[in-house]
Amino acid sequence: MDSRHDHLYIGGAWVRPSTERRLAPVDPSTELSLGSVPEAVEADVDAAVGAARAAFDSPGGWASWEPSRRGEVMERFAAELDARARDIAALVSAQNGMPVNIARQLEVGYPGAVLRYYAGLARETGFSEVRAGLLGGSVEVRRLPVGVVAAIVPWNYPQVLSMFKIAPAMAAGCTVVLKPSPETVLDSYLVAEAAQAAGVPAGVLNIVPGGRAAGAHLVAHPGVDKVAFTGSTAAGRAIGETCGRLLRPVTLELGGKSAGIVLDDAELDPAVIGQDLVAATLTNNGQTCFLSTRILAPRGRYAEVVDLVTDLARSLPVGNALDEQTLVGPLVSAAQRERVEGHVAKGLAEGARLTTGGRRPADLDRGWFLEPTVLADVDNSWTVAREEIFGPVLCVIPYEDSKDAADAVRIANDSDFGLGGTVWTADPERGAAVARRVHTSTIGVNGYLPDPVAPFGGTKASGLGSELGPEGLAAYLRFQSVYQSSPADGREPAGSGAEPRDAGAAHQHTPMTATTTTLTA
């Protein structure tokens, strides 16, 4: 596989980069180069923001289109992504080590579903409604696109996490500058090609492959109106500080350390629970933000849970991410593997009991592999239970048995993070009752997969705001209330009086004034 690109996708065209600098992703399964692309630097980011700004501000542009027309383009975009599914899955696997079977389920198909879902929401959402006032007159409530969006994503799910931002932004009428992570820039070219083939208007989507400096420049750029970020809590804090200073709306999807609560009635047969438990705890080699990596086991069944988790982890085939049989691929980089190994060593030093893994597989002499690892007898106060590891490492923590699983809920909530979690039980009602007491923004009963119809995000150190669902669309809208001192008579509201930045959006009420639909799917 050798993928080389010499241009950047800016303003709907393939343009020359401003410098000779390049990014060269490496296959973590083989340590071989996969190709290279231009690295976007500040001047390229400026050009991309300029193109997005022009596309947003131009009269008659994207923001002023009827939402159903935007939806048609988004559906064509989804179809073009489908047409590239094979190549996208292979490129993602080769760049970040995600087993190709998982890439086919989560990195293709799912992004298209998100695009189609938001295309539907664009059609169904009322972007303007008139409310009878309590004070005699009426109020026109307008939902306007927030403007130019800076979308910054990590390497672990480059396609899905890009689409969590691009799709609602496009539905709302925003324009986007996407900054992929240096490790996964190659697949972003397929997104650009799909957008171009689908007829996404020039400047609505621009892509700047770059590192932290390009990201920081984009976040603080005066032409940007909103930042949508997924990545580490450390970077999220830095971005949040910048946005706070600029009073710029920001969505932050950050790290996690979620709990998987095994209730005392759970079915511990691997044939029943195995696949879902592995998916909820180890997907993508443990490099997934929401995984239930702290497994909480009732003392009465503690040994059974440790045995189950150990047997499952040991049974997973480790190997090249492009091999169809592989269920655990490599870590994304040598540095990441060393970091994860450091966590395992620290856990053992803190007193954990290693029941499987902890080593580099003997039969794989190239690639940044680590055996799936289980640390038992962990105390929730230890570093290994408090910090995000981001590798195939599970901690099993005992809790005191009781009908309401109070001790498990206490331990689950004793975390700086608040992203995901799971409850495992033979009684889904009981599971839901326990799940509702866990202080995270998402949680699953007997499995976990973020559904596009519902908000996904984190609380505490896991982030601010939500993606997905109608709530994810609302994050790309701002409101304007136009007070009428006499009751509305159904006529078109006169002149927008909008500032230049609203020029496109100002046209938006025309097709939507009659509807009073609210923000529901």
Positions annotated as catalytic residues are 253
> Distance (Å, rounded) from C-alpha 186 to C-alpha 404?
49
Least separation in angstroms between residue 466's CB and ligand NAD is 10
- Tell me how far CA of residue 290 lies from CA of 55, 247, 379, in angstroms: 35, 29, 20
Nearer to ligand NAD, 305 or 370 (CB): 370
Asked whether 212 and 235 are in contact (CB, 8 A), the reply is yes
Provide the minimum distance between the beta carbon of 209 and ligand NAD in the complex, in angstroms, as a whole number.
9
Considering only 49, 254, 297, 318, the residue that binds ligand NAD (CB under 6 A) is 254
Which residue type does 444 have?
Answer: G
Task: Name which position in 39, 80, 253, 371 contacts ligand NAD (CB under 6 A).
Answer: 253
Which two tokens mark 488? 């509305």
Q: Figure out which of the listed residues 1, 238, 464, 498 binds ligand NAD, where binding follows CB under 6 A.
A: 238
Among 10, 152, 279, 322, binds ligand NAD (CB under 6 A): 152
In this structure, how many other beta carbons lie within 10 angstroms of the beta carbon of residue 41? 18
Minimum distance from CB of 352 to ligand NAD (Å)? 22
Task: Give the range of 64-72, 232-240, 268-276, 485-493 binding ligand NAD by CB under 6 A.
Answer: 232-240
Residues 368-407 that bind ligand NAD (CB under 6 A): 388, 390
Judged by CB under 6 A, which of 7, 22, 123, 212 binds ligand NAD? Answer: 212
Tokens of 271: 């044939």
Note whether 184 binds ligand NAD by CB under 6 A: no
Please select the residue that binds ligand NAD; options are 419, 434, 505, 506, rule is CB under 6 A. Answer: 419
Query: Which residues, numbered 158-177, are part of the site for ligand NAD (CB under 6 A)?
Result: 161
Chain positions 2 to 61 lying near ligand NAD, rule: CB under 6 A, are none
CA atoms of 10 and 218, how far apart (whole Å): 14
Residue range at the interface with ligand NAD (CB under 6 A); choices 3-11, 84-92, 233-241, 407-415: 233-241
Q: Which is nearer to ligand NAD, 64 or 283 (CB)?
A: 283
156 binds ligand NAD (CB under 6 A): yes
Give me the sign of the Cα torsion angle 327, 178, 144, 508: negative
CA distance 242 to 175: 21
> How far apart are the C-alpha atoms of 108 and 112, rounded to whole Å?
7
As measured in angstroms, the least distance from the Cβ of 83 to ligand NAD is 26
Answer for the pair 140, 169: CB distance below 8 angstroms, yes or no: no
Q: Residue 79: what residue type?
A: A
To ligand NAD, the closest distance from the beta carbon of 406 in angstroms equals 28
Give the HSE-up count for residue 161: Cα atoms under 13 Å, Cβ half-sphere: 26
| Cβ atoms of residues 103 and 490 within 8 Å | no
Q: Which of 364, 361, 341, 41 shows the shortest CA–CA distance to 182?
A: 41
Instruction: Assess 96 for contact with ligand NAD (CB under 6 A).
Output: no
Q: Does 179 bind ligand NAD (CB under 6 A)?
A: yes
Residue number of the CB closest to ligand NAD reads 215
460 and 438 Cβ atoms separated by less than 8 Å? no
Residue 421 as a binder of ligand NAD (CB under 6 A): the answer is: no
Asked whether position 62 contacts ligand NAD by CB under 6 A, the answer is no
Residue 181 lies near ligand NAD (rule: CB under 6 A): yes
At a CB cut-off of 8 Å and minimum separation 6, what does 272 contact? none
Say if residues 459 and 295 touch (Cβ distance below 8 Å): no
Residue 467's φ and ψ, nearest 5 degrees, are -115, 165
Which residues of this protein are in contact with ligand NAD, per CB under 6 A? 152-157, 161, 179, 181, 211-212, 215-216, 219, 230-232, 235, 238-239, 253-256, 289, 388, 390, 419, 458, 462-463
